[in-house]
A = this chain, B = another copy of it.
Amino acid sequence: MRRQTWQRAAVRDALSEREGFVSAQDLHTALKATGSPIGLATVYRALADLAVDGDADSLQSGDGENLYRACVSQGHHHHLICRSCGRTVEIEADAIEEWAADVAARNGFRDPQHVVDVFGTCERCAAAASACEVV
């Protein structure tokens, strides 16, 4: 049975306060900053649990970190992620689901799962970045 502890609640709350994906380390740092004596290992465990329960989404950043995000829609969906600020838009695409299933089936693969995420630079960051670029 899964127990109700203030640590889990703290992790869940901290996660839902963020707009985009956060790393476990960041979340731990943030929690510590608020005075929580929560342990790093606990944050990892809580996040893993949330991900399993479908309350959070996880993906791996390019540099070997696991990122987590509180999920609004419970079902299967994908993300459009700003590579600069981490802001995230949830997207649904039945067409993709079908395509993936179809491709898998056509090649004799069973139990298709897919990783579909789109990265980009959101308007806000694109504007900020172009101001700095040495064009």
Contact = CB atoms under 8 A, between A and B. Distances in A.
A53 interface: no
A116 B119 contact: no
Given A64-B60, A91-B103, A104-B80, A113 B123 contact: no
Interface residues of A, number: 33
A122 interface: yes
Contact of A119 (B93, B95, B115): B115
Contacts of A114: 116-119
Contacts of A118: 100, 103-104, 109, 112-115
Interface of A: 60, 64, 66, 80, 82-83, 89, 91, 93, 95-96, 99-100, 103-104, 107-123, 126
